[in-house]
Amino acid sequence: MNTKTLSRRRTLIAFAMLVPAALAVRSVRAQAGAGGVQLFKVVSPRDEVVVGADAALLGTGSGPAVERLAAQLAAKGQLTLWQYASHKDASGALVQAPLRQIVVFRNEALRIEPYATPLPIQPLK
């Protein structure tokens, strides 16, 4: 193989790796407009849970929403959030809906990451 072919393959592979990441960011941004609630996955040593946070909880700032949520958790030590799960709404359509309120403790959360879903997100109760 010549160097042009290798360079083209590397470029194609790099592009193929970036497309899914760009689509995930796009779907997370689209979720933010759905009732102002953004979904996150909180990973602890025992389990993983999907939670919703609205703009009031995330606060203002120019950083990514996941960083703002992590900063709130670090500053306060614990946050009361709504756990989200997929449910059928009154019309039978599948949606992400608030299930119950939970408390997330700073020392129990190992990781917080954006959670992308193709389902519509219902607003907080």
Does residue 26 contact residue 112 with C-beta atoms inside 8 Å?
A: no
pLDDT in tens, 102-115: 999 999 889 999 99
Tell me the C-alpha to C-alpha distance, in Å, between residue 80 and each of 14, 55, 76, 112.
40, 14, 10, 15
* Whole-prediction pTM: 0.70
Residue in the structure block whose two tokens are 């602890």 = 44
pLDDT in tens, 113-125: 999 999 999 998 7
pLDDT in tens, 80-89: 999 999 999 9
- The pLDDT-based confidence of 60 (bands split at 50, 70, 90) is confident
